Amino acid sequence: MDTADRFNDECGVFGVFRNPGASALTALGLHALQHRGQEAAGIVACDRGKFRLERHMGLVDDNFTSQDVIDRLKGDCAIGHNRYSTTGEPALHNVQPLFAETAIGGFAVAHNGNITNARKLRETLRNSGSIFQSSSDTEVLIHLLATSTKATFIERFVDAIRQLEGAFALVALTDNLMVGCRDALGIRPLVIGDFEGSFVLASETCALDIIGARFVREVEPGEMVVISDRGMESVRPFPDRPSNRFCIFEYVYFARPDSTISGLSVYEVRKRIGRELAMEAPADADIVVPVPDSGTPAAIGYAEGAGLPFELGIIRNHYVGRTFIEPSDQIRHMGVKLKHNANRSVLKGKRVVLVDDSIVRGTTSMKIVEMVRDAGAAEVHMRIASPPTTDSCFYGVDTPEKSKLIASRMSVEELTRYIRVDSLAYLSIDGLYRAAGQDSRHDVPQYCDACFTGEYPTTLTDRTDRLPQDHLAFLEKA
């Protein structure tokens, strides 16, 4: 897979405006968003027009807990970013926030999502003289803003984002403004909080909780909020009325279960997913066991729905990162063993329903099933808390290319044999929509579900093999 347009996979963004503890608060916010990106983290602070940057490879805790670092990040405004990218070489120049001195002042930006026409824009910009310093798709935004002929930052920002296609939740900082912005479909999340009278922006509400900030509201799809000393103003950069196509995979796997998105608790949605799954795919079994941690809430829901005992038949070692961090297949195989161990006393002689949120490459499932069988389980019935993952995400969730997605190559029957289970069932797409508050998927879906359906809600200019979707032609007009 081409890596140039995949640099902002899975990220967390955070920002604080006018608070003396801005950098420390941002470090805490990023810590709460660590699940969204573990490869690198960065903070940019602004102190009366002077910007300071700290960007490091590794976890927030490894780099942003010392007083020295926080002291260096002087200022009452700060934005931060967690980055998670498994493709392409990990390089410090790609770590965000990105910062540039433009003709109208300093500008820092942190981006969650993927711009699907970044390569094309980059080519055009390069041909007219722009010099790129990173391979990050976010850098095109900086160049678009820097070369815009509009007078003010906000006009230039609007000018720039109207040219972007794909998914973006952005937090940006100038010497007197903090800006939060979501793409016209609101594919990636962004919320507004209030900490002791200071505005806060964060990818998820769990990052407001950690600092004790009050949830104000979400940035709406296609909305730009401009925070200044005058307060918060809302700008609508996209001329047509945006529609909501929030990423349904955030509910399935990506967001933290203690976050609330669009008024729905992620934990409750996952439990409802489990109950739907129990209704759609019951199993003759003795116990329900989650693949921890991602399968746990759905397994609780399944156990409730099926009237079966919920048991921790697999124990997870929390001192190992998500397996996807490991780059090679060989290490990924090892990673599973490092991360999970069978709880023999629970599994021996039992007919087990194993619940996981998704099967991507199939490596995890195969190893876990083997482990559960080795521990003496009599039968293993795998239940997956989402539909088959058949298509890659181009909007910021790290998924391998389609050919590596096992569900795109194998039928449920083939996969049942491949991972060696007695039965395998996925949740239906309508079941998933029901769990996420809709009665079914409908013709005009309320979520982006491209990873399960292959229907991409935006044009994918950088991939010529994909066709634009008619009902979203407004994105091109914008």
Per the annotation, binding residues for Mg(2+) are 294, 356-357
* DSSP code, position 7: T
| Phi, psi for 417 (deg, rounded to 5) | -70, -40
Q: In this structure, are residues 397 and 247 in contact, taking their beta carbons and an 8 Å threshold?
A: yes
Q: Which long-range contacts (CB under 8 A, 24 or more apart) does 470-474 make?
A: 471/444, 472/185, 472/243, 474/184, 474/238, 474/239, 474/240
Per the omega criterion (within 30 degrees of 0), is the bond before 5 cis? no
Q: Is 383 in the site for ligand AMP (CB under 6 A)?
A: no
CB of 234 to ligand AMP, least distance (A): 32
d(CA 133, CA 136): 9
Task: Sort 105 into a burial class: Cβ within 10 Å, 0-12 / 13-18 / 19+.
Answer: middle
Of the pair 276, 356, the CB lying nearest ligand AMP is at 356
Known binding positions? 247, 294, 356-357, 393, 448, 451
d(CA 198, CA 182): 21
Question: Which of 21, 90, 362, 437 is close enough to bind ligand AMP by CB under 6 A?
Answer: 362
Question: Which of 361, 383, 434, 441 is close enough to bind ligand AMP by CB under 6 A?
Answer: 361
Q: Which stretch binds ligand AMP (CB under 6 A): 14-22, 393-401, 412-420, 427-435?
A: 393-401
Question: Which of 85, 399, 428, 458 is close enough to bind ligand AMP by CB under 6 A?
Answer: 399
Q: Is 398 in the site for ligand AMP (CB under 6 A)?
A: yes
Of the pair 16, 397, the CB lying nearest ligand AMP is at 397
Q: Is 117 in the site for ligand AMP (CB under 6 A)?
A: no
Whose tokens are 């999502």? That residue is 113
Q: For 429, how many CA atoms within 13 A lie in the half-sphere containing its CB?
A: 17
Q: Is 291 in the site for ligand AMP (CB under 6 A)?
A: yes
Q: For 262, how many CA atoms within 13 A lie in the half-sphere containing its CB?
A: 20
Count of other CB atoms within 10 angstroms of residue 228: 16
d(CA 471, CA 455): 12
| Phi, psi for 309 (deg, rounded to 5) | -70, 140
Q: Which stretch binds ligand AMP (CB under 6 A): 61-69, 198-206, 272-280, 360-368?
A: 360-368
Of the pair 180, 297, the CB lying nearest ligand AMP is at 297
- Residue 181 bears catalytic tag: no
CB of 426 to ligand AMP, least distance (A): 13
Q: For 304, how many CA atoms within 13 A lie in the half-sphere containing its CB?
A: 14
Q: Is 294 in the site for ligand AMP (CB under 6 A)?
A: yes
> 282 Cβ partners below 8 Å, 6+ apart?
306
> 347 Cβ partners below 8 Å, 6+ apart?
289, 313, 372, 375, 376, 377
d(CA 224, CA 220): 8
Q: Is 33 in the site for ligand AMP (CB under 6 A)?
A: no
Of the pair 293, 476, the CB lying nearest ligand AMP is at 293
Of the pair 141, 360, the CB lying nearest ligand AMP is at 360
Question: Which of 150, 322, 351, 463 is close enough to bind ligand AMP by CB under 6 A?
Answer: 322
Q: In this structure, are residues 271 and 419 in contact, taking their beta carbons and an 8 Å threshold?
A: no
Reference 182, options 199, 166, 198; nearest CA is: 166
Q: Which stretch binds ligand AMP (CB under 6 A): 14-22, 95-103, 357-365, 380-388?
A: 357-365
Known binding positions for [4Fe-4S] cluster? 247, 393, 448, 451
- Residue 371 has which token pair? 């482990």
Q: Is 359 in the site for ligand AMP (CB under 6 A)?
A: yes
Question: Which of 130, 244, 343, 363 is close enough to bind ligand AMP by CB under 6 A?
Answer: 363
Q: Is 408 in the site for ligand AMP (CB under 6 A)?
A: no
CB of 313 to ligand AMP, least distance (A): 15
Q: Is 207 in the site for ligand AMP (CB under 6 A)?
A: no
Of the pair 223, 250, the CB lying nearest ligand AMP is at 250
Q: Is 38 in the site for ligand AMP (CB under 6 A)?
A: no
Question: Dmax over Cα atoms in the chain, in whole Å?
Answer: 72
Count of other CB atoms within 10 angstroms of residue 152: 12
Of the pair 87, 124, the CB lying nearest ligand AMP is at 87
Q: Is 321 in the site for ligand AMP (CB under 6 A)?
A: no
Reference 414, options 339, 359, 340, 375; nearest CA is: 359
Question: Which of 137, 326, 357, 449 is close enough to bind ligand AMP by CB under 6 A?
Answer: 357
Q: Give the count of residues interacting with ligand AMP (CB under 6 A).
A: 18
Instruction: Please list the active-site residues.
Output: 11
Write out the residues near ligand AMP by the rule CB under 6 A.
253, 291, 294, 322, 324, 356-365, 397-399
